[in-house]
Amino acid sequence: MAATSTAGPAQIRVRGLTKRYGDHIAVDDLSLEIPAGEVFALLGPNGAGKTTTTEILEGYRDRDAGEVSVLGQDPQRAGRAWRARIGIVLQTSNDYAELSVTELVGHFARYYPRPRDPDEVIEAVGLQDKRRARVRALSGGQRRRLDVALGIVGAPELLFLDEPTTGFDPQARRSFWELIRRLRTEGTTILLTTHYLDEAEQLADRVGVIAGGRLMAVDSPAQLGGRQSRRAQVIWRDSREATDTPTRLVGELAGRYPGEIPDLQVLRPTLEDIYLDLIGEHS
């Protein structure tokens, strides 16, 4: 399916993307556009095709069919100047065990023509108290923050984040979310893959759900899969009812009970409910 946003010029444009491994189709005729300045979350179960798709967009994997344009160039043929315009945070990274945080971020900054100030980047990811620490001495969550620092130190126009908050404690995740919001405000386009649906709901302008190599749906988190138009569940102590008009039903209930309606809840489908419906048998 084609998925287009009109928010701005497309930084990523994909048409009919297909990738096979032998008889297995990992990505099946996928089409997508991501405009400048958008945070786009790609969701899907393991093996759905998320990693293959992003690796093709990053220029690390060839495709079998389709058209791909990233920052106006084909990643399969783009050179060093193009690569300096993107940032990548992978699920795993090389371990520079004996370098300090300051040394490593400063080293990576020299790869780029117009990098961010390394000290500012270290502070932005919350490692200011670990500037002199060796990489081997960092906790798992701190190493993940360092991965993010290395991904953004080049001041990328487009940032790929693959499961960026794996291993973060709740406070670190919230701090990371603030960093992503700040990057978005500065105009950075972000493609995020995550298994945390609350993360997608908090950060993404739009989400895409991929399953079995196919893009099942693309929309804002609030509208995905017709979420807002689905029936609400009104629950109270004596019963529950699915309804298209929850306000009317609550008004009727208010006339039945003196004072508060006991144990009243009005529930709309969550993003998780919609996601599980979309991936179906692929979960």
**Residue 248 covered by a domain:** yes
**Residue 239 covered by a domain:** yes
**Residue 188 covered by a domain:** no
For residues 231 and 205, the model is more confident at: 205
Q: What percent of the chain has pLDDT over 70?
A: 94
pLDDT tens for each residue of 114-130: 999 999 999 988 899 99
Mean pLDDT, residues 156-171? 86
**Residue 265 covered by a domain:** yes
Centroid of chain to Cα 156: 16
The range of the structural domain enclosing residue 247 comes to 227-282
For residues 228 and 235, the model is more confident at: 235
**Residue 262 covered by a domain:** yes
* Predicted local distance difference test score (pLDDT) of residue 8: 60
Contacts 24+ apart (CB under 8 A), 105-114: 105/146, 105/149, 105/150, 105/153, 108/150, 108/153, 108/154, 109/153, 109/154, 111/84, 111/154, 112/84, 112/153, 112/154, 112/155, 113/84, 114/155
**Residue 114 covered by a domain:** no
Q: For the sheet with 214-219, list strands across it.
A: 86-89, 158-162, 189-193, 39-43, 206-211, 214-219
Record the pTM. 0.83
**Residue 246 covered by a domain:** yes
Asked if residues 188 and 161 have their Cβ atoms less than 8 Å apart, the reply is no
Nearest-angstrom CA–CA distance, 88 and 155: 11
**Residue 272 covered by a domain:** yes
Q: How many domains does the chain have?
A: 1
Strand partners, 240: 235
